Structures are given as C-alpha cells and as structure tokens.
C-alpha cells in the first residue's frame, strides 16, 4: 500500500513537471512567434528606406551626410540580427536618422508635393504603426512567459528544464522615441 502511495506521488509530480514544461514551451514559442512578427515588420521598414532615399536623393544632393547616416543606420539594424537589446538599439538609431531625413526634406516644397514621397510617407507611417503593435505583442508575450517561469512552483523547475528569461524590446532613449514620427510633406 505504501508503495502505491509513493508511486502515485511520483506520478503526480511527473505529470505536474510535464504540464509545467509544456506550458513554458507554449509561452516560449509565443515569444519566438512575436519576435518573428517584429522581424517581418522591421524588414518591411528596411525595404522601404532605400525607396525613400531614392525619392529624396535628387532633392537632397547637398545633404549627403543625412542620406549616408540613414543608410548606415539601416545596415546596422539589419546586422543586429536576433539579439533583442542590440536590435532595439539599432532600430532606435534608424528611427532617429529617418526623422532627421524627414526634417531636412521639409525644407523642399517640390519634395513635399512629390507623389512618390507622399506614397512612401504613408507606407512608412503604416509600417511604423505595425512595428509598434508588433513590439507591444512581443513584450506582452515575454511578460507572460517570464511571469510563468518566475512564479512558484515553476520557478523551481524552469532553470533545470532550460528555460531562461527573455528580454523585453525596450527603447534605448524612451523620451525621444515614445512619439510616432510626425512627418509632414
């Protein structure tokens, strides 16, 4: 009889460990999916930037430094890969350089009325909204995952099962980056 009780306790413990493991796997996969959604939107953003540069290149020939900084920031953002803190910092820099490009372009009335520029402005604004939504979804997924792995009793088993903390996608300079870029052509 005692052996049956011990076996029942071991079986319940094993069942519990399996359910904790499966729950953490599900949450970790949601985090990975959310990261891939950010990646998709950032790739879309990266693909728009060369078109934007080409649209303004003729008008801003003497503003070469601005164009080069946007191009460099884009390359650094792409090179950051899947390292969340590095990617967040690189994307923040890209946002700042694109804003500076728009600020310089404001001085050119012909550029403000250019249909290509207006279309790119709309696409970039839409993409920025999608990026913001994807970041929020990612951070919500990370919060749910990290909370699940840090609460008792899962926190006793999570490290042994290979579940580490996931980083949030945070802004490097929150004050400068909180607002949506205001672009007016």
**Residue 54 maps to a domain:** yes
Residue 183 placed within a domain: no
pLDDT tens, residue by residue, 80-127: 988 888 998 999 999 888 888 887 777 777 776 677 777 777 888 888
For residue 171, what pLDDT is reported? Answer: 66
pLDDT tens digits for 22-76? Answer: 999 999 999 999 999 998 999 999 898 888 888 777 777 767 788 888 889 999 9
138: CB partners within 8 A, 6+ apart = 31, 34, 35, 37, 38, 169
Which own/partner contact pairs does 36-40 have at CB distance under 8 Å and 24+ positions apart? 37/134, 37/137, 37/138, 38/131, 38/134, 38/135, 38/138, 38/169, 39/82, 40/134
Residue 156 sits in a domain whose CATH number is: 1.20.1440.20
Whether residue 185 is contained in a domain is answered as no
- Structural domain range at position 145: 2-177
Number of domains into which the chain is organized: 1
Please report whether residue 184 resides in a domain: no
Residue 97 maps to a domain? yes
């Amino acid at each position: 009889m005692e052996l049956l009780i011990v076996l029942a306790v071991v079986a319940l413990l094993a069942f519990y460990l399996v359910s904790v493991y499966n729950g953490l796997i599900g949450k970790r996969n949601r985090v990975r999916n959310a990261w891939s959604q950010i990646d998709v939107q950032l790739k879309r953003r990266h693909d728009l930037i060369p078109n934007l540069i080409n649209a303004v290149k003729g008008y801003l020939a003497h503003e070469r430094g601005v164009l080069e900084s946007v191009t460099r920031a884009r390359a650094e953002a792409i090179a950051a890969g899947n390292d969340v803190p590095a990617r967040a910092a690189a994307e923040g820099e890209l946002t700042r350089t694109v804003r500076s490009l728009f600020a310089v372009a404001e001085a050119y009335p012909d550029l403000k009325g250019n249909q290509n520029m207006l279309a790119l402005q709309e696409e970039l604004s839409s993409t920025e909204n999608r990026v913001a939504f994807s970041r929020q979804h990612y951070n919500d997924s990370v919060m749910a995952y990290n909370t699940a792995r840090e609460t008792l009793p899962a926190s006793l088993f999570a490290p042994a099962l290979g579940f580490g903390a996931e980083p949030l996608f945070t802004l490097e300079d929150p004050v400068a980056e909180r607002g949506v870029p205001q672009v007016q052509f």
